[in-house]
Amino acid sequence: MKFRPLHDRVVVRRVESESKTAGGIIIPDTAQEKPMEGQVVAVGPGQRDEHGKLVALDVKAGDRVLFGKWSGTEVKIDGKELLIMKESDILGVIEGSRKG
C-alpha cells in the first residue's frame, strides 16, 4: 500500500534510541521514552496561501528531523509504526552525519 499525505502533512518513522547509557547500563523498554527524532518517509504537496498559490514544504523524504514529544498521530501502515504530523510540528532538520 502506498500512502500520500495531503496538504502540509508529513509522514515520519521514529529512529530508535539507544537502549544503553554511556556507562553501559541497559535501560528496559518500559522505562525508555519514545524518541523525538525520526526520518521523513513522505511529504504532502504543501499548503495554499491566501492567494491560492501552493507553498511547498521545507522538508523532503529522507530528511532526519526532530519533533515535539507529543507531536503527530501514530498510525500503522503495512505493519510499520509511523507518525503523521503537520510540518509546523517539526522543530528542525538534522544535517550532517551522526558521530558516536
pLDDT in the model for residue 97 = 61
Selection from 79, 96, 99, 73 nearest residue 12 by Cα: 73
Q: Is it the case that residue 21 has pLDDT exceeding 60?
A: no
Among the ranges given (13-17, 23-27, 67-71, 83-87), the one the predictor scored with the smallest mean pLDDT = 23-27
Selection from 12, 77, 9 nearest residue 45 by Cα: 9
pLDDT in the model for residue 70 = 85
Average pLDDT over residues 1-12: 87
**What is the spatial distance between Cα 20 and Cα 30, in angstroms, rounded to a whole number?**
13
Span 74-92, pLDDT tens digits: 999 888 899 999 999 999 9
Span 29-64, pLDDT tens digits: 554 556 688 999 999 999 888 998 999 899 999 999
